[in-house]
Structure 1
Amino acid sequence: MTHPSTEAAMRTPPAAEGRPAAPPRSKPPRWSTSVIVVLLLGLAVNGLIRMDISIERLFRAPENVWRFLSGAFPPDAQRFPNFAEAMLETIEIALIGTIIGVVLSVPAALLAAQNTTPWKPLAHAVRFVLTSLRAIPDLVWALIFVMAVGLGPLAGILAIAVDVIGFAGRFFAERIEEVERGPIDALRSTGANEISIVVGAVLPASFASFTATSLYCLEKSIRGATVLGMVGAGGIGGELTTAFSLRQFDTAFAIILMILVVVLLAEQLSAMVRRRMLGADQLTRAV
């Protein structure tokens, strides 16, 4: 009597000599996947119909862009001192908000990390709070704080701080959970309490990652602070909104160039600090 595996081998055509066996046929997608794809396509088609997206509007776009560019050159720098003062306010809003957010993110991350939280349900609760803070855009936070504390830089600082807590708190918590157990267990074996373990093992091992994330938050906050000014949260955004409202495209373009320069300088500063921390050898390509 022939063994079943032998019969299956006899029915399977052998691969040509020197060639790999043919791959198995792709399986049909599951019904749930098909339903999701059909649903997404339906939403996309419905959106195209409801949003009045037409070819005529797309063809008019180059003409409108050319009108903006022709009116933007040369940039108007007559009010440069006022713009520089507003840009400085934007940088200060971003810096203060980022510092507050980063400082508050550290204890939040320690409570959210599974290996440092004093109570597991507390970690889940803090993670839910961080996710909620991160899910709401910073522009919405700015509108909320403008209503709460009034127009001005304070609303922008609070909006930036809340946004940074939600963003940095998550990455800080994930980095804390990746810390090696060796130094932690070594300190715990000596009878050290939880605070000593955090200060002596967890934070030193996470410091480089914390710094890189904080610098990225600062870059992100500078870009975000320019937008927050458009809703009355202080900074250069208010000047940009006024210029576009009055169709002063040369003034608006001068402000855009100033924002571009500041953001590029912030990125270069972040890269320089990162190189200093990691060292030139770490960033050199391996041969």
Structure 2
Amino acid sequence: MYLTHFGFYQYPFHLTPNTELFLGLAPHYEAIQTVNSALAMGEGVVTVTGEVGTGKTMVCRMLMSLFSEQTQLVYLPNPCLSDQELRQAIAKELAIVDSDAISVVDDIQQRLVALHRQQKQVVVLVDEAQALPDSAIEALRLFGNLETAQDKLMHIVLFGQPELDQRLAQHHLRQFRQRISFRAKLRPLTLQETVAYIDSRLMQSGGDERIFSLNHKRAVWRASGGIPRLINQVCHKALLMTYSAQQSRVGSERLFEAIHDTLDTYKPRFKRPLLWGWSHP
């Protein structure tokens, strides 16, 4: 594709989260710090919420890469599980074999106690948690109740869209809601953060930050609303179209086409960025 053309050794705006390109901008850094602080204090349940594309999966993967050897990770990427399926998934992640529906809870509890004696902290990460059925949330609540005289045996971090907060606000889930000790919320990037985000990804991939002009970076921010996934989509398509035109810098026409091809919301009417409606920082 366009890697050699622009001097990249990897795609700077690939849609699959790449922890090597993590910049640590305020919203993501604060979410990671919130989760780490909660786990360090031994708190039971933490939630990380944000709109689609704001970087929840990236935060989740960064946390996974930062955990120490004393952390026993249980990662549940598929939340569409019944309570029994969730128990079996946790048992599998904890390397529990030959456990049936009757004994699985006792087997998990025994495993948690054994890990605690080894001074290991069990952390369950649930992605797309807004899709958890009520029965699975109740199963998590009961696991969260398992504790010694001083410590929780299982710590739970839920990643989800804002609908997760709406679901947990329901009266019948109040017992689980009351166990949430910390909440982190991801917001869209500001203009300055968007410019830093684009520049960092270009340079960390071996390219030149001047491939996009400052005016064009502002246009990307306005069009995307500061949502990292949309920034990636627009920039990736703009680079691809620029490569197809055999140009070395992204021009206004290529960026205009990329925005119109990607977004259904904000679409500039003119091909000159000075008329696209962005404002100075």
Structure number with higher strand proportion: 2
Q: What TM-score do you get using the length of structure 1 for normalisation?
A: 0.22
Structure number with higher helix proportion: 1
Q: Whose radius of gyration is greater, 1 or 2?
A: 1
